[in-house]
Chain A
Amino acid sequence: MTGRLILENIKHRPMRSLLSVMLMGVPVTLILALVGLTQGLLQDSQRRQQNTGADIIIRASTASGVVNFSGAPIPEKVVAKIEEQPHVKLAVGVLNHSIDPPLVVTGVDLPRFDRMSGGFVYKRGGPFKRPGDMLIDEAYAAQTHKTVGDTVTLLNHDWRVTGVIEAGKLARIAVQLSVLQDLDAATGHVGQIYVKVDDPANIDTVVQELNALETGYKINTLEEYVAMYTPSRISGVKEFTVVIMVIGVVIGFCVVCLSMYMSVLQRTREIGILKSLGATKGFILTIIEAEAMLLGVGGTVLGIVMSFGACWLVRTLVPASIPMIVVQSWWPTAGLITLLGAGLGALYPGLNAARQDPIEALSYE
């Protein structure tokens, strides 16, 4: 019977219910969009690292974050020296230049990288041949509406697109290593080195040997490195997510408080009727809280649906810059945040309703 009372109340004022659900859905969408954006960026980066075919990565000692956007502090001769180490099959130095974060242009020695990774998969066109040639992946091609033969202006330089590659391997935008080194005034230097060993069983041995060289560089297995791609390792993301969650609770609280307060005012006489029938304060509070919770559930569902819409929109407009995903594991968290806001928001109007004098409530016009 309580359920019917609640459902009928919600159905009786459809516009109020719909607006409440929509407003409660907004913070759910915000939270899911933020998480989807963060995790999408990280997963995309992880995938591109994993598909390089490398077993070990060497970064400069000054590399502070997980994602190395720019800088060329490692002399290129180190690449050759590493390749001389036992069990090392191949070492490939690359150089990254940040253009419009998180987008970077990656300078790569294509023949060597092809040997390590098995090569890029070309959707259109083929490898670069001349210094001004560039490869772009499908996502960047879709975002910029560029294809083979088009000119892309980056780093104050016009590049000719010679190939559109499948996304998910090393780089979104790749140019010849030597050309990028010249443009960055970093001739003979690279930003990081990918190392492939002869046998996966030797990865740890090689890491130990490289550390024994005391180069001062950060040396990690690729598995370790990829594992570092978590939101907590990216400065500020965790705090930002918490702030958005708090905003979600506050919005949910305000929306529900206002909505239920208005609803209680509109239903003053009905509350009086229930009281005349012997309804306890607890019963009145329960139906107000339960109604808010139901609106909260509706808001969560709508928020999830809207997060799919937001994801589609972002991936359509900027698939390369923001490879957003829908993170299903966050649905319960977003739902709990909404329900917390709804529960708190309904408390004040619910207590007001429960405390109403039945005679005054019955005479309310």
Chain B
Amino acid sequence: MSNGPIIETRELRKIYRVGKVDVPALRGVDLIVQAGEFLSIVGPSGSGKSTLFHIIGGLTPPTSGLVRVAGQDLASMTDAGRTRMRKRSVGFVFQKFNLLPNLTARHNIAVARFIAGNTGPLDGQFEEVLRLLGVAERLDHKPAALSGGEQQRIAIARAIVNHPAILLADEPTGNLDSENSKAVLEVLRGLNERLGQTILMITHNPEAAAYGHRTVNMRDGQIIW
């Protein structure tokens, strides 16, 4: 783990308006994640962990408060600014894998590189990552021809292909059996340990959370410990 916060939130609040009713999703979240840290966030449904995930990932702006990711102040960013930030600074891994169904695994990864403006050949380190993920032989298959575990590992490969500052994983084992869950979690831990990849993982599963360096627990839009 290296020094210096890569994610920092202070008094972070997010209020969704549903009809004429304001629904607070985050009620002043203070969080610091160090570069190279593997942090697990646990909490029940509606605790605000997904909202926190979306704000840190630049998918939605906060209502108020400070949020800095890799030195960038997301609270003051425009939509276009957050889009630029997502290209290079953040990689997402979702519960439902979210691979583009029309493209092969290789092209799913290539799309992420293309959008980020990388069009050259894959670097040697990433080839090594693909071997580490165990998907090097499955790159020319479309998602429908891959198992859930393989799809999630391709999604991880896609998330880190542009060497993002942080990897955000939202219930990455939620759709996997225990064997594949373990494999995916081992991969995440391996990326963290070998490459120093900062990882922020949301999970319901205490066993999965245990793969992180530390765990924070959220409830009612706040971090409770």
Contacts and interface: CB of A to CB of B under 8 A. Distances in A.
A277 interface: yes
A275 B98 contact: no
B126 interface: no
B103 A278 contact: no
Given A1-B114, A5-B111, A12 B102 contact: yes
A355 to B, nearest CB: 10
Contacts of A269: 98
A9 interface: yes
A278 B111 contact: no
Interface stretch (B38-46, B66-74, B83-91, B202-210): B83-91
A8 interface: yes
B32 interface: no
A81 interface: no
A1 B110 contact: yes
A270 B57 CA distance: 18
A42 B213 CA distance: 85
Contacts of A283: 115
Contacts of A279: 83, 115
A207 interface: no
A11 interface: yes
A5 B98 CA distance: 15
Given A359-B54, A359-B60, A277 B112 contact: yes
Contacts of A280: 80, 83
B195 interface: no
Q: Interface residue tally of chain A, by bracket?
A: 20 to 34
Nearest to A358: B59
Contacts of B83: 275, 278-281
Interface string B20-56: 0000000000000000000000000000000000100
B92 A276 contact: yes
Contact of A277 (B80, B84, B101, B111): B111
A269 B143 CA distance: 15
Interface in A287-314: none
Contacts of B176: none
A152 interface: no
Given A280-B80, A359-B59, A273 B107 contact: no
B86 A362 contact: no
Interface string B113-154: 011100100000000000000000000000000000000000
B115 A278 contact: yes
Interface residues of B, number: 28
B85 to A, nearest CB: 8
B1 interface: no
Contact of A273 (B57, B87, B100): B100
A274 interface: yes
A276 B111 contact: no
B149 to A, nearest CB: 19
Contacts of B110: 1
Nearest to A13: B102
Contact of A278 (B60, B88, B102): B88
A362 B60 CA distance: 13
Contacts of B116: 277-278
Contact of B86 (A2, A9, A276, A359): A276
Contacts of B87: 277-278
Contacts of B107: 1, 4, 8
Nearest to A270: B100
Given A275-B83, A358-B59, A5 B115 contact: no
Interface in A1-50: 1-2, 4-5, 8-9, 11-12
B155 to A, nearest CB: 10
Contacts of A8: 102-103, 107
Contacts of B119: 1
B59 A274 contact: no
B86 A278 contact: yes
A260 to B, nearest CB: 16
18 contacts: A1-B114, A1-B119, A5-B111, A8-B102, A8-B103, A9-B102, A270-B100, A272-B98, A274-B100, A274-B115, A275-B59, A276-B98, A277-B112, A278-B88, A278-B116, A279-B83, A280-B83, A358-B60
Given A1-B119, A275-B86, A276-B59, 17 more contacts: A2-B114, A5-B102, A269-B98, A270-B101, A270-B102, A273-B98, A273-B99, A276-B92, A276-B98, A277-B92, A278-B84, A278-B87, A278-B116, A280-B83, A281-B83, A357-B60, A362-B98
